[in-house]
Structure 1
Amino acid sequence: MPVLQRIPPTPAPSKDALGCAASKLDVNQEFEGGGLTFYRKSTGNEQFGNVSTPASDRGFLVGVALRGGHRRRILHGNHASTHDFDNGSIYIRDFTEDYRADLQGGFDFLLVEMSRAFIERVNDEKGGPRVSSLLPMNGQSDPVLGALAQVMTQVLDRPAETSSLFVDHVSLAIGTHLLSEYGAGATAGWGDTGGGRVLSRKLEVRAKDMLLAAMRDDSSIADIAEACNLSRSYFIKAFRQTVGTTPHRWLLEQRVQKAKEHLRVPGRSITEIALQCGFADQAHMTRVFASVVGVSPGAWRREHGI
């Protein structure tokens, strides 16, 4: 008599921190910066299946669709709701609630995980009414978050080329927008006293010195603001009012000026100059240089007969 053998069941695909079967994803990226965690999840799989996460104290998750054609059926106890997502549509969910959803159609999402501590920090920096949570959303269009999500995809694609100063700016913009548009649980807060915000000469020098040091150690804007005894938001606004541009843009311009000095020296390779001036590589320097000067480093060097 033949012996029957027990065939073990095929193990279910492992799921990541957001409840996705990682093996089914075509793009699965993660980046932490500016107090937020960013993810990009993308697949062409029309029958992706379900996602689920148990309740936790992780805060909130904001999803921004980078393309249309996606539908999800969200299960709420004994009932369900179905939502369609176009390019720029968003959802917001609270991690304190169990989450289950069936995903239909391929998708491409930029996801932002926001802790309650980050919300409190934005409350402190923006002033005005304070909020304690975000309203749940599913499928609503938000062009502002859609545009910011596109910016963050570039960061996820090339994290080595991105400074923490830039990520701080984008993170603060995302946080401020979310709290302003979808904040809940408002309490009495404090408002802006008005008037111009400028840095004293001493603080301007200190801030610029630290930004220049960021060419080497990539100091965050929070560190610089703390050194000036200012909140991050106040520092950004005061720096722009004083200098005429944001800290990140000013730093890029200084790197370009330093690159010009090196480019004047015959025989120096652009790759070598890029690394010495704080750029990730030659391609990174070329993009920034062209955005500031209007031509590539090589073209600028030729124009000046070097």
Structure 2
Amino acid sequence: MDLEGRWKLPPTNLIASSAARKWKGIGVELRRHSAGEVPEMVADRMVIAIAVRGNHRAIIHRRGNGVRQATHASRGTVWLCPQGVAEDNIRITSAIPEMLHIYLPAATFVALAKEDNFSDVTRQSIRYKAGFQDPLLFQLAAVLLEELTAETSSGRLLVETAALTVAARLLHSHGEAALPYAARTRPAIGLDITRLRRVIDFIEAHTDEDVGVDDLASVACLSPFHFSRAFKEATGLTPHRFISQRRLQRARLLLETSELSITDVASMANFSSQANFTRAFSRIIGISPGEYRRRRT
């Protein structure tokens, strides 16, 4: 997702960015914030800021569309700035070590609103809100931060699925309109056997490619959000976890039966580097790829 736009923080204090990633429907930046004032900005996408390493002494003063807010930047604190809101006065009283900024396009909310049968999609704006804790958003921020700082083989799929969950959380829990009863009580329905087989065949044929949630949803002829829920209901695994297991199985087979270097195995399993592959392999298997090969051959 392009991170350029009217809502753009200065380049200083940027720790990490998803600008070079192939993620669709989401942008992420990890920043430290110094004490001082931030220039006036107009949100041209949904902006979520979460203090992942906060400072309870720091206070963020901000004004958006005439509404003034003052919030301590404690760990886990969330700020929301919906698309179209102009923030003309932002002041930070003390440095904040790490804040994750998540950017979501309006199209994601429109699609989810239609899927959940909101009566008036145009009214589904998110509140201009600050100073609250949301455990689910904080958990999702941790997932995004981990992928941002240590890219994995199926990270794009993980991030795009997380983006849909973030959008759904905002729409359902922090939106201007209540979620319809039908959407709140709708049971989860898994993929039918034909769609599931088609999706699994596609995964098997593209194990070494960077597959996104849109790709899999298209194969199943479902919306991305509906697909993610239906796939997990059918398999017991998220699409990301399912593909990660498939890639790990392929990597293990290559280590056991081929003379490929570990770097080549990492590449064929769609890891961005040998270091990321070794880290992920060791975390799941309990030993490094090199040690696994020595024990199996």
Both proteins in one fold, TM over 0.5: yes
Aligned counterparts of 1:173 and 1:138: Cα–Cα separation in 2: 20
Deviations along 1:137-180, one digit per CA (max 9) or x if unpaired, are 11212222222212212222245755321112211121111112
Aligned counterparts of 2:273 and 2:103: Cα–Cα separation in 1: 30
CA 127–288 in structure 1, closer or farther in 2 if over 3 Å, else same: farther
Q: What percent identity do the matched residue pairs reach?
A: 22
Across the aligned residues of Structure 1 and Structure 2, the Cα RMSD in angstroms comes to 3.0
CA 76–197 in structure 1, closer or farther in 2 if over 3 Å, else same: closer
Partner residue of 1:35? 25
The 8 Å contact of residues 50 and 99 in structure 2, kept in 1 or not, is answered as: yes
Partner residue of 1:74? 62
Alignment match of 1:178 (pick from 162, 170, 178)? 170
SS at match of 2:207: helix
The 8 Å contact of residues 40 and 90 in structure 2, kept in 1 or not, is answered as: yes
SS at match of 1:66: strand
Partner residue of 2:254? 262
Partner residue of 1:97? 85
Partner residue of 1:22? 11
The 8 Å contact of residues 92 and 138 in structure 1, kept in 2 or not, is answered as: yes
> Counterparts in 2 of 1:104-123, with a 5 A limit?
104-107=93-96, 108-123=98-113
> Counterparts in 2 of 1:179-258, with a 5 A limit?
179-186=171-178, 190-191=182-183, 194=186, 197-258=189-250
The 8 Å contact of residues 60 and 113 in structure 1, kept in 2 or not, is answered as: yes
Cα offset, 1:285, TM superposition? 2.0
Deviations along 1:70-114, one digit per CA (max 9) or x if unpaired, are 312224688854221101001112342321211221122111222
Deviations along 1:29-85, one digit per CA (max 9) or x if unpaired, are 244734122222214x3x33333114x6x2421111112223122246888542211
Aligned counterparts of 1:242 and 1:79: Cα–Cα separation in 2: 45
Deviations along 1:199-233, one digit per CA (max 9) or x if unpaired, are 23322221012223333332322222122222222
Moved more, 156-165 or 246-255: 156-165
TM-score, normalised with respect to structure 2: 0.83
Aligned counterparts of 1:247 and 1:209: Cα–Cα separation in 2: 13
Cα offset, 1:291, TM superposition? 3.7
Letter in 1 for 2:294: R
The 8 Å contact of residues 127 and 176 in structure 2, kept in 1 or not, is answered as: yes
The 8 Å contact of residues 118 and 179 in structure 2, kept in 1 or not, is answered as: no
> Counterparts in 2 of 1:145-160, with a 5 A limit?
145-159=137-151
Cα offset, 1:17, TM superposition? 4.6
CA 190–269 in structure 1, closer or farther in 2 if over 3 Å, else same: same
CA 273–208 in structure 1, closer or farther in 2 if over 3 Å, else same: same
CA 139–19 in structure 1, closer or farther in 2 if over 3 Å, else same: same
Aligned counterparts of 2:146 and 2:137: Cα–Cα separation in 1: 15
Q: Which has the larger radius of gyration?
A: 1
Indicate yes or no: 2:274 matched with 1:290.
no
The 8 Å contact of residues 266 and 273 in structure 2, kept in 1 or not, is answered as: yes
Letter in 2 for 1:35: G
Cα offset, 1:26, TM superposition? 4.8
Aligned counterparts of 1:244 and 1:83: Cα–Cα separation in 2: 40
Alignment match of 2:50 (pick from 55, 64, 68)? 64
SS at match of 2:103: strand
Aligned counterparts of 1:161 and 1:196: Cα–Cα separation in 2: 28
Letter in 1 for 2:9: C
CA 105–225 in structure 1, closer or farther in 2 if over 3 Å, else same: same
Letter in 2 for 1:21: P
Cα offset, 1:194, TM superposition? 4.9
CA 187–141 in structure 1, closer or farther in 2 if over 3 Å, else same: closer
Indicate yes or no: 2:78 matched with 1:86.
no
Aligned length: 286
